[in-house]
Amino acid sequence: MTQPTITTPPTPGCPDDFEELLAAIPSLGDDAFAERALGCLLGGALGDAFGYLVEFDELPRIRARFGPDGLTEFPDGRLIVSDDTQMTLFTLEGLLEAGLAAPVAAKVQAIRRAYLDWYATQRGSRPDRDQGLRRYPELWATRAPGNTCLGALRAGGRGTVTQPVNDSKGCGGVMRAAPIGLVRADDPETCFRIAVDAAALTHGHPSGYLPAGAMAAMVRLMIDGMPLAEAANRTLAMLRGWPGHGETSAAISGALKRAAAPRPDRDIAALGEGWVGEEALAVGLYSALVGGDLMRTLVLAANHDGDSDSTASIAGQLYGAARGLSDIPERWCGRLDVAAPLAWLSRRLLAAQAGVITRAPTPATPASHS
């Protein structure tokens, strides 16, 4: 197994940030939206940290390490996220930098700039704009970033649907797309479009960018209260209008069909290993539909031969968007290595969503990024 490399020491946990954030929800507008938005972000980060423990391990190896049932609980200590959560947070910051009411093109370009900032952290060099997320040392850690993302961003991250930069359908586009669905100023179809364009910055195959659109659309539908299965079916209808949708549509349909009569020991393997976009979305969707609670959802999504952190992160995002914070223990959240930046960015999202003009606290600049 490739071991994660940490280039900067992680910041200690910040459970107080979450206590303050949860207490502030009633003053920041729509409580139901806040619950689902935070559930999506926290569920995804927890899923990422859970799956990252076994990323690159095949199932026999996972069972050899953790027992016949595989990985079934969080270990003690810090919960370390991968590049999946890092890029998810930079996606959200890009949206907030653009403004929630900004047009599609402005949001995509702001997300692109945020990704270039993330790319600078992975090279160990200071980003052009040293503020916001870039001031958190935990986001400078190198956590098995995908070669497709790195290569595309090294070239400027200028891909589009009509002018692709490669033919990759890796899952790096879908795993970072959920925050785009948290913008209520945009309808689900617009969220789909923004997520497609944001994924196409780095992933040029339709199965690299269409799963991102589907993910954002499902999240957008669920934050208004639509159940996950219904949101997935509605999203299938959107997909059919896009060229090259066949693999993504088949993957979502397959997940829905198997979830109706689940046999998890067979179903996950049949849906794929999650290294490519449509498979990662299918495994995450199936796990969120079948799991019943967050822990079981993450267990299903992480225990397989493939890209466990991405599939578990997607499953956690979908589960949290559907269920909110109801069974996400606060003690887990405070153990996340990205607890502080996630809480800080969530406050900005809720304040912007509620139309509250507030000056978000600026995190301290780290002493070094060595």
Per-residue model confidence as pLDDT tens digits over 214-237: 999 999 999 999 999 999 999 999
pLDDT band at 365 (very low <50, low <70, confident <90, very high): very low
pLDDT, position 21: 65
Instruction: Look at residues 144, 118, 113 and name the one whose alpha carbon lies nearest to residue 48.
Output: 144
| Residue length of the chain | 370
Contacts of 218 (CB under 8 A, 6+ apart): 181, 228, 231, 232, 235, 285, 318, 321
Task: Return the sign of the alpha-carbon dihedral for residues 16, 19, 20, 21.
Answer: positive
Secondary structure, 3-state, 156-183: CCCCCCCCCCCCCCECCCHHHCHHHHHC
298-314: b (≥16 Cβ within 10 Å) or e: bbbbbbbbbbbbbbbbb
CATH number of the domain at 32-354, please?
A: 1.10.4080.10
The two structure tokens encoding residue 27? 């003053």
pLDDT, position 124: 75
**Chain centre to alpha carbon of residue 44:** 5
- Residue 359: pLDDT over 60: no
Contacts of 237 (CB under 8 A, 6+ apart): none
User: DSSP letters of 34-98?
Assistant: HHHHHHHHHHHHHHHHHHHTTTT--HHHHHHHH-TT---SPPSS-B---HHHHHHHHHHHHHHHH
pLDDT, position 6: 29
Q: From CA 217, how far away is CA 209, in angstroms rounded?
A: 13
Q: From CA 188, how far away is CA 133, in angstroms rounded?
A: 27
Instruction: Look at residues 9, 41, 10 and name the one whose alpha carbon lies nearest to residue 350.
Output: 41
Q: From CA 104, how far away is CA 236, in angstroms rounded?
A: 22
The two structure tokens encoding residue 117? 């900032």
Tell me the helices (H) and strands (E) count for the chain, helix number first.
16, 0
Q: From CA 171, how far away is CA 174, in angstroms rounded?
A: 6
Instruction: Look at residues 283, 304, 297 and name the one whose alpha carbon lies nearest to residue 61.
Output: 304
pLDDT, position 369: 34
pLDDT tens profile 10-53: 333 344 566 666 666 665 567 899 999 999 999 999 999 999 99
Could you state, in order of their start, the residue ranges of all structural domains in the chain? 32-354
β-strand partners of 73: none
Do 287 and 311 meet the contact criterion of CB atoms below 8 Å apart? Answer: yes
pLDDT tens profile 292-347: 999 999 999 999 999 999 999 999 999 999 999 988 988 899 899 999 999 999 99
